[in-house]
Amino acid sequence: MTVIDANRMHEIETRYPEYFHRSFRQRFGGLMILIATLLYSLYAVWFFDLPKLFAEAHWERVGIYLSQWVSYDVQPEFRIGDDGSIDIRYPRFSPLGDNPHPDWLVNNPDGSITVSISGTGGSVTVSKSETIVTAHGVSVPVEVSSGAPKVVGPVPGWMTVYDDNVLADLGFAGNVSISVDRVKIRKRFIGWANFIFDTQSSFFDKPVGEVVGLIVSGPRIKPDQSNLSLAFDDIWNNSEWQHGDVWTKLFQTIVMAFLGTLLGSLIAFPLAFLAARNITPNRLLNQVLKRFFDFLRSVDMLIWALFLTRAFGPGPLAGSGAIFLTETGTLGKLYSEGLENIDNKPREGIKSTGAQTVLVHRYGIMPQIVPVFVSQTLYQWESNVRGATIIGAVGAGGIGLKLWEAMRTNANWENVAYMVILILIVVFIFDAASNALRHRLMGTKAH
């Protein structure tokens, strides 16, 4: 064990004072940051009133929306006449078409009708005097012959009795609403109804084998059009899913992002040379252009879209313009900062030979900045594909407006899921493509 005397200790303290005489900030800085973070978190909880927000939130809607993303429902309504007859009706534009005869609905010999309910192992039997709901291993009769529906026996937890209505909540499988003169059933199915052919198509509700046979070698359904062409038209013009309109709007979004980013990069590139201090030694011009870039990018793309939709009307032109203005500011700043950080030795070497300014830029600057500029531009293009979806919601064209219209109805959540999945696929593809191009340009391996 080595013993250090007082003189040696004093020498070490003199040589390394930062270790022996630490400032207050060095000793308590970490603790102060932790306390400040905790206090700010408490302030944010108070400012946004998070306990009340979470208590009053409609969390049950999360499950409803998620279930509607992956399923659809059919709503048969049974109207009981004064003579005891039962009339079956479906809403307009039912997923089953205009004249449905589903196999889960059975007409019994005694005049009653039984509807099987998947997921609960039960059924609903409707007759002129009562409706029997069977679910979760329990059968509950509800009399409908008097002035108000009346539950016979104990009321289970999944059934609610109102003054003129009895509601049976069957969870994901659907629900049953029972009144004196009508019974309405909401029956839910997994999947997306009529995703390929809608109810107006000649191929609607036909088995896959029959459809393939008609397309390949079957007789023409319409004499003036082949079955293959007819099938494509029916898919593209599907009235429920609107594939043609959705894909057209998606392509508009991609074009908006590409055009806005391309034009922004073309304008920002020469302006960046004028804004870079080491390239253009004019401080006034440098500052004016940099403040111009700051102005363009400080106004959010969404705000630019609102301005331009008022000027040019709704459509992709406004969206492309909003992206163009934002990207001119963003890329101009990135390009000018990249130019200011280049290595000046190659530039000075070429300049010393008496080469013209254009050649100095071409051989002394461009080889250093092109990979970086292209990488930054590709990243912005990828980001703008997502941004173009958002600005579409304010009328700037593209799939964003279509998505907003589907959400606003609060009833087409499966269509919302369809468009969200398409957007995710496009973003994933562009992300992979831009990453591959960036790594190729930078000479690195993609992980």
| pLDDT tens per residue, range 232-249 | 999 999 988 999 999 999
- What's the pLDDT score for residue 42? 94
In this model, does residue 382 exceed pLDDT 90? no
The answer to whether the CB of 305 falls within 8 A of the CB of 396 is yes
Residue 444 has pLDDT above 70, yes or no: no
What confidence score (pLDDT) does residue 34 get?
93
Full-model pTM: 0.79
| Strand ranges across the sheet with 150-151 | 105-107, 113-117, 122-126, 130-135, 138-143, 150-151
Give residue 4's pLDDT band: very low, low, confident or very high (50, 70, 90).
low
Q: Please compute the mean of the pLDDT values over residues 387-392 and round it to a whole number.
A: 86
Residue 172 has pLDDT above 70, yes or no: yes
Q: What is the mean pLDDT of residues 123-136?
A: 90
Report pLDDT digits (tens) over 253-268.
999 999 999 999 999 9
Longest dimension (CA), the chain: 115
Q: What is the distance between the alpha carbons of residues 137 and 301, in angstroms, rounded to a whole number?
A: 56
> Could you tell me if 221 and 210 are in contact, meaning their C-beta atoms sit under 8 angstroms apart?
no
Rounded Cα–Cα distance for residues 144 and 134 (Å): 16
Confidence check: pLDDT of 38 > 90? yes
Q: Please report the pLDDT score of residue 433 as a whole number.
A: 83
**pLDDT for 13 beyond 70:** no
Q: Residue range 280-290: average pLDDT?
A: 89
Asked if 123 and 104 touch (Cβ cutoff 8 Å), the reply is no
How confident is the model over 286-300, as pLDDT tens digits?
Answer: 899 999 999 998 988
Q: What is the pLDDT of residues 185-197, one digit of tens each?
A: 999 999 998 999 9
Residue closest to 316 by CA, chosen among 255, 402, 225: 255
| Residue-level pLDDT at 61 | 79
With pLDDT > 90 as the criterion, what percentage of the chain qualifies?
30
Lowest mean pLDDT among 205-209, 277-281, 296-300, 334-338: 277-281
Q: How many residues does the chain have?
A: 447
Is pLDDT at 367 greater than 60 in this prediction? yes
Question: How deeply is 128 buried, as exposed, middle or buried, from its count of CB atoms within 10 A (0-12, 13-18, 19+)?
Answer: middle
